[in-house]
């Protein structure tokens, strides 16, 4: 893939841009195999390739410049905007939204936030596209000052972009290097974006997490479902379940599946998806994964973990070691923390692994490992 922004030195976010894709994928496979080289019983399945460009279903764009001439993209080293509205890793559906939002900003005088001066209102736009082409738009604002104007003119934006189904404003009053604040104000009647994956309708709320590559997310959940169904456990826990992707793919007659996630919004989404699909034996609870496991009176036959980059940590590893869990499906976005966690699970043997290229043009990737208790 070639990128004019990268070639001109305007954006270097995609650190592998310009490298042949086959080399990128082979490099990720080699990197992961080297980190897990101590696991000699490990069978490596063929890596799952992504499309090289237009794969991102979510864009987190900084709004800068002026209301008359806004930029939508990133900031340079001095805090000034670099416009990236034609970014080639974003889906065509995302790229179609950016110029319309820019016109909306200009027409309604929505003053962008200026980082150097710490003034202005509109900080970011966060745009997510579903596999069916529907869109969620979130406007990150410093205060509520622009809300009446946005509410008044929102019908104009929705008329231009009928694919936009969910719009919200996120309030982020502080000047610090985080993307969004805690408070979300829904501006449309519809509150969730329908993310249909492998025939399962996942409901994404504004502050819920979903993988940024829909094609790879589908492959990830299919691999998890394949391993779970092959082992046929009677009970499954999906820890760090998010909106319920792995849990919902693990549902089967006679099987109990419990999903745990800190976000109450994500749990509400998972319950909605389960109810819509009329799945039996499903339970979702909002809470900390480690605390839930430590407090449980019984352990399941199989545990799925899909933690953040830091991994599951010593405490949860210790619980797994002492538990009756027979198998673990570990989905990791950071093979280094995965390697640390596997070293803390000596009673389990890593049997199979698969790299999935969730993030082409970068060094990041997802890897799934199937663990079996052997001690």
Q: Supply the residues annotated as catalytic.
A: 333
Alpha carbon distance 22, 16 (integer Å): 12
Helix, strand, or coil (residue 330)? strand
Select from 32, 202, 233, 48 the least CA-distant residue to 128. 202
Task: Sort residue 143 into left (φ over 0), alpha (ψ -120 to 50) or beta.
Answer: beta
Angle at 260 between CA 177 and CA 248, to 5 degrees: 110
Alpha carbon distance 193, 205 (integer Å): 6
Instruction: Report CA 14 to chain centroid distance, whole Å.
Output: 17
Alpha carbon distance 82, 3 (integer Å): 15
Alpha carbon distance 34, 353 (integer Å): 13
Helix, strand, or coil (residue 215)? helix
Do residues 222 and 198 make contact, with C-beta atoms less than 8 angstroms apart? yes
Structure tokens at 239: 């820890």
Structure tokens at 274: 């389960």
């Amino acid at each position: 893939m070639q990128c004019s922004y990268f070639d001109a030195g305007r954006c270097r976010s995609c650190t592998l841009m310009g490298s042949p894709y086959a080399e990128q994928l082979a490099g990720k496979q080699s990197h992961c195999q080297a980190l897990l080289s101590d696991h000699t019983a490990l069978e490596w399945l063929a890596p799952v390739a992504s499309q090289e460009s237009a794969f991102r279903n979510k864009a987190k764009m900084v709004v800068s410049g002026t209301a008359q001439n806004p930029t939508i993209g990133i900031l340079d080293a001095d805090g000034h905007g670099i416009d990236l509205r034609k970014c080639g890793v974003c889906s065509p559906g995302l790229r179609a939204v950016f110029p319309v939002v820019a016109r909306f900003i200009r027409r309604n005088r929505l003053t962008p936030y200026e980082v150097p001066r710490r003034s202005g209102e509109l900080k970011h736009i966060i745009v997510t596209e579903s596999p069916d082409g529907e869109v969620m738009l979130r406007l990150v604002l410093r205060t509520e000052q622009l809300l009446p104007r946005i509410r008044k003119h929102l019908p104009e934006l929705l008329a231009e972009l009928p694919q936009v189904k969910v719009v919200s404003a996120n309030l982020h009053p502080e000047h610090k290097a985080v993307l969004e604040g805690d408070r979300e104000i829904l501006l449309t009647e519809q509150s969730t974006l329908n993310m249909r994956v492998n025939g399962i309708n996942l409901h994404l709320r504004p502050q819920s997490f979903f993988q940024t590559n829909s094609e790879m997310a589908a492959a990830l959940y299919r691999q998890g479902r394949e391993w779970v169904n092959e082992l046929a456990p009677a009970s499954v826990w999906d820890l760090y379940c998010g909106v319920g992707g792995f849990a919902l793919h693990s549902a089967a007659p006679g099987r109990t599946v419990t999903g745990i996630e800190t976000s109450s919004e994500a749990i509400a989404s998972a319950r909605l998806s389960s109810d819509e699909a009329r799945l039996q034996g499903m339970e979702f609870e909002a809470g900390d994964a480690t605390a839930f496991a430590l407090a449980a009176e019984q352990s399941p036959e199989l545990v799925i973990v899909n933690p953040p980059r830091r991994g599951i940590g010593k405490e949860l590893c210790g619980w797994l070691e002492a538990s009756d869990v027979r198998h673990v499906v570990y989905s990791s976005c950071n093979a280094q923390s995965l390697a640390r966690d596997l070293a803390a699970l000596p009673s389990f043997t890593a049997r199979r692994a698969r790299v999935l290229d969730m993030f082409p043009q970068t060094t990041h990737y997802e890897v799934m490992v199937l663990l079996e208790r052997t001690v």
